[in-house]
């Protein structure tokens, strides 16, 4: 797919990456909700354990309406180090990501209405998203490269459709392959009515994932489905582990009764 610039929102946006021997020796898990942390990206992103010194993420967002799929023309960069540590200057593909503060905590985001970052000019077709961190204090300087996933669409459920909570929901999407190494995350969020957020992780080999009836029973009313395809890389620098994530978030609004 050509050049696009994404925007995702359930609360705000995503995370980031580096060079020197990258290896995937830790497995990502579903997002968690710890208290006492810097603002997150607002989009579902994998977590890699409490010992990780930093996560850098690029995000593209697409939304499915009842007629077509479209992509907002914005790419998002987000980075968080430790529990809100200053890491100096942070860039992705040569573009600086804004440094923000929340009290004594520091994080990095390209989403800032008062000081917007320049267009990140990212491609989402397997090309590289290259991070560069200058380092500061106990965060060393490093670089991290992550290969981007490719575009996909959600085939089921259809946007604005009405789904019965009495039957399991089979979420399906395009672009799956038996040889795919991409990871997938399925997130269902109540918008109106009842329900609590449901999250599950899977792979991209079959193009489907089932939300069981006992989970759907908790929902009633308007809901937001976020299907996330992502890739990640790890780098160790100065005895610390950093992860880079590149993800596409596809959003579908529908109803459950």
Q: 84 pLDDT exceeds 50?
A: yes
Evaluate if residue 133 carries a pLDDT over 60. Answer: yes
Residue 33 in any domain: the answer is no
Dist CA 166 CA 248 (whole Å): 30
For residue range 136-159, list pLDDT tens digits in order.
999 999 999 999 999 899 999 999
How many structural domains does the chain have? 1
Q: Which of 252, 250, 251, 247 is nearest to 28 (CA)?
A: 247
Closest to 125 in 3D by CA, of 78, 71, 171: 71
At 28-56, the pLDDT tens digits run 655 444 334 567 888 999 989 888 999 99
Greater confidence, 65 or 55?
Answer: 55
Tell me whether residue 207 is in a domain: yes
- The pLDDT of residue 23 is above 50: no
pTM across the whole model: 0.82
The domain in which residue 233 lies consists of 54-256
* Distance between CA atoms of residues 42 and 13, nearest Å: 4
Name the pairing type of β-strands 240-256 and 162-163.
parallel
CA distance 19 to 168: 43
pLDDT value for 39:
78
26 vs 58, higher pLDDT = 58
Average pLDDT of the residues of the chain? 84
pLDDT tens string 201-225: 999 999 999 999 999 999 999 999 9
What pLDDT is attached to residue 8?
34
Is the pLDDT reported for residue 3 higher than 90?
no
Dump pLDDT digits (tens) for 221-238.
Answer: 999 999 999 999 999 999
Segment 108-118, tens digit of pLDDT = 999 877 776 66
C-alpha closest to that of 133 among 21, 246, 56? 56
Find the length of the chain: 257
- Whether 44 is in a domain gets the answer no
**For residue 11, what pLDDT is reported?**
35
pLDDT confidence bin for 57, thresholds 50/70/90 = very high
DSSP state of 219: -
Give the mean pLDDT of 239-253. 96
Q: Residue 178 domain-assigned?
A: yes
């Amino acid at each position: 797919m050509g050049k696009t610039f994404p925007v995702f929102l359930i609360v705000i946006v995503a995370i980031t990456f580096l060079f020197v021997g990258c290896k995937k020796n830790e497995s990502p898990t579903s997002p968690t909700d710890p208290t006492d942390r810097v603002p997150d990206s607002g989009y579902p992103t994998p977590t890699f354990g409490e010992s990780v010194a930093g996560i850098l993420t690029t995000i593209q967002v697409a939304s499915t309406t009842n007629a077509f799929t479209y992509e907002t023309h914005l790419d998002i960069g987000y980075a968080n180090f430790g529990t809100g540590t200053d890491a100096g200057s942070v860039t992705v593909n040569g573009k600086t990501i804004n440094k923000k503060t929340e009290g004594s905590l520091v994080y990095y985001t390209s989403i800032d209405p008062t000081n917007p970052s320049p267009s990140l000019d990212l491609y989402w077709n397997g090309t590289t998203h290259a991070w560069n961190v200058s380092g500061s204090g106990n965060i060393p300087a490093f670089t991290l490269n992550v290969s981007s996933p490719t575009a996909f669409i959600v085939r089921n459920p259809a946007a604005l459709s009405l789904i019965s909570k009495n039957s399991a929901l089979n979420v399906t999407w395009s672009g799956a392959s038996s040889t795919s190494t991409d990871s997938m995350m399925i997130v269902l969020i109540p918008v109106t009515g009842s329900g609590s957020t449901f999250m599950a992780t899977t792979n991209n080999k079959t193009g489907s994932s089932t939300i069981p009836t006992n989970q759907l029973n908790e929902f009633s009313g308007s809901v937001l489905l976020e299907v996330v395809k992502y890739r990640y890389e790890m780098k160790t620098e100065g005895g610390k582990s950093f992860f880079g994530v590149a993800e596409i978030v596809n959003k579908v609004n529908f109803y459950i009764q």
